[in-house]
Amino acid sequence: MGMDARKDIWHGELVLLGGHTIPWLNALKQAGWICHHCHDLRAAETLLLETGPCLGVVDLSHDDFSLQAIASLVNRHKQVRWLALVRDEQLSIESVCQFIVSFCIDYFTSPIPESQLLKTLGHQRGMLTLERKVWPKLGHFGQQGLQGNTPVMKKLLQHVKRLAAADMPVLIQGEIGTGKEMVAEAIFQASTRAKGRFVAVNCSSIGRSWAMKGSESECCFEAARDGVLFLNEVTSLPQDRQQELVQWLQDGRFTKENGSEVSAEPRLIAATHYPLDTLVSEGRLSKALYYRLNVLSLTVPPLRERGDDLLMLADALLLKYARQYNCGVKAFSDNARQAIATYNWPGNVQELVGRIKRAVLLTEQKNIEADHLELPRQADDKQSLKKIREESERSALLSVLENNRGQISAAARELGVSRATMYRLLNKHDLIPPPRDLGQNS
């Protein structure tokens, strides 16, 4: 389906919840609208996730659903522009009035004035057209390492799409290396924040202030003002930084060290691989921050739970890096695919990326063989947590060195460590550059 056709369908879709014989629904269909009539909220949930931004009409006049259930559904789908249909006497019910004011752009009472309703729907369709121009990626996102057709990945993609539409803090959990930052970027790209900045901060490197690296005057809240602030390993924050974060989440204000006040309101997405309940019970995570963060959450599944999607992701990464490095590698051999499918991948996506990238760079053949991936033998597969962490650390060092073209000082600044610490880490993982590089001004 071409992009223009997709836009036409997107702007002309309407979901009706409840109600019985609806004459104006036929008029809309004749005018080219795609109309869905749902009498079941679970079916509506699935439909709204698949449809994305559209118009929604809630028929409250027949009391088909409880108002609480409807409110819960509508609140989860902020990408939909909702209208309500009610009886005159329902306007004396406080809860009905509250629902309309909180969630709907307009309402109509029975008997429904068909011409006026159709005119309103047509106007809202025009508003959706304008929104599409302003936020062209709303409800849509690139693959971002989230390829998959298995139930576990479909569930993750549904969660990403749903959370993108809700402009609220999100907590992403998952093992080391599962791609939590990629998921955060996917949420960002599919949201109304996509025209702003995506600012990623490693909380383990935050010290006495929230200042951005290389800037004493700008804090990360300012840098992500209209976009998304991604706090990786948020549970590593010191207690005083946790208190400041809670305060900012409460009133949207932050006072910098120089006394100036910042009132920027970026969307917060936080991530951690630690179990939050344990950290709260140990006193390492404040209860106030826990309750503020753990409202909208999702868990990124490890590679070992992704089934056939693992090979789909591996193929996508192979194509990406073969193009990036202009290599002649075309595919994985059968034995390499078998090795990828049977390996446990304790380092998850980070480990997969590292091994495929290395194989692409070092292989002179058209096919990558199992030996090129240098995977541990199955007998050695029970790796310790320490080894897993070291593998992830090494992968991160390789990535940051590549991003900074081998410049040690620049890589150290990006990681938020001193040059001496950077050399210690490089020595630890046997990554010290050749002598000719050591003489460069890094």
**What is the arithmetic mean of pLDDT over 120-139?**
72
Q: How far apart are CA 355 and CA 336, in angstroms?
A: 12
User: Which pLDDT belongs to residue 9?
Assistant: 37
439's tokens: 């003489």
- Between the ranges 9-18, 115-124, 170-179, 210-219, where is the mean pLDDT highest? 170-179
Residue 135 carries which DSSP code? S
pLDDT at 20 over 70: yes
- C-alpha angle with apex 339: 337 to 345, nearest 5 degrees? 110
Chain center to CA of 48: 18
Write the single-letter amino acid at 39.
Answer: H
pLDDT at 442 over 50: no
User: Which pLDDT belongs to residue 441?
Assistant: 40
**What is the arithmetic mean of pLDDT over 407-435?**
77
Short-list 194, 196, 160, CA closest to 180: 160
**What is the arithmetic mean of pLDDT over 411-440?**
70
pLDDT in tens, 87-127: 999 999 999 999 999 889 999 998 878 888 888 888 888 88
Residue with tokens 């993982």: 429
The better pLDDT of the pair 242, 379 is held by: 242
**C-alpha dihedral, 106 to 111 to 116 to 120, nearest 10°:** 30
pLDDT in tens, 311-358: 988 988 888 888 778 788 889 999 999 999 999 999 898 899 999 999
- C-alpha angle with apex 73: 70 to 75, nearest 5 degrees? 105
Work out the pLDDT band at 8, boundaries 50, 70, 90: very low
Domains of the chain, start order: 3-134 (3.40.50.2300), 151-301 (3.40.50.300), 306-438 (1.10.8.60)
- Between the ranges 94-98, 134-138, 393-397, 418-422, where is the mean pLDDT highest? 94-98
**What is the arithmetic mean of pLDDT over 215-232?**
85
